[in-house]
Copies of this chain bind each other. A is one copy, B any other.
């Protein structure tokens, strides 16, 4: 049987017009290509070129062979691509969450349970998470909504409560607790990758300016050096800046959240050993 190798060479000759030029691009010598094509013709029992002593041009059979070669190479490449994609997908666990905090603990735990797999995680909106769980984009999702159908396992994973951290000199620093509304109008530091938190804060503090910061370290630096209020949670815990700060709990229901972890019952065997933090 002929080989894919030779079909690629055939296509290269078409692309690069002459045998010499094609050989150059294929990184083989011109005679090697010449003979390889001769072997292909022998194998196919058909002449593919008009040999004008000085020049190779595809004859009728050659053109037909090119069509086939294209189709076969296409299919072969599709084979490789699809196999690699499928096997990669099978070896990675995708986690989607509405907030970053649960991912911090869940990712290493899942990774420990399945050391051979790579874990991929991202923050998304509730609706996209639920959709992603259904169509297997995510194997695990984390939301604050325990609702689920019969094919889904729901676990009460952890609770996260929002605090505001204030410099001791801040007028509200002496309070035992606050509502987001109390902070409305104040500029406040905000980590940008907080997921659903941001929408809630913006809704309750329409007059505030949120100073967004991507980098966690930079955020902490700002918290330490500036007099601006900032958010923290029971999970983000005591930051290095906490010594100079007062942490005041926020009482709004929406910012004291239980995170539910959901996965398909089909994946129960994979994930049954995940332990809730609560």
Contact = CB atoms under 8 A, between A and B. Distances in A.
A81 to B, nearest CB: 10
B64 A86 contact: yes
Given A5-B1, A46-B84, A84-B46, A72 B64 contact: no
A269 B60 CA distance: 19
Nearest to A3: B3
A136 to B, nearest CB: 14
A166 to B, nearest CB: 54
Contacts of A72: 72, 75-76, 79
A104 interface: no
A61 to B, nearest CB: 5
Most buried by B among A8, A45, A65, A76: A76
A78 B82 contact: no
A71 interface: yes
A44 interface: yes
Interface string A1-37: 1111100100000000000000000000000000000
Contacts of A69: 79
Contact of A2 (B1, B43, B75, B76): B76
B79 A47 contact: no
B46 A65 contact: no
A69 B75 CA distance: 9
The winner among A4, A8, A47 for most chain B CB atoms within 10 A is A4
A203 interface: no
Contacts of A68: 75-76, 78-79, 82-83
Nearest to A1: B4
Interface in A51-85: 60-61, 64-65, 68-69, 71-72, 75-76, 78-80, 82-84
Interface in A82-119: 82-84, 86-87, 90
Contacts of A78: 68
Contacts of A79: 44, 65, 68-69, 72
8 contacts: A1-B5, A43-B80, A44-B80, A64-B82, A65-B79, A65-B83, A68-B75, A68-B82
Interface of A: 1-5, 8, 43-47, 60-61, 64-65, 68-69, 71-72, 75-76, 78-80, 82-84, 86-87, 90
Given A45-B83, A45-B84, 8 more contacts: A2-B80, A44-B84, A45-B87, A46-B84, A47-B87, A68-B83, A69-B79, A72-B76
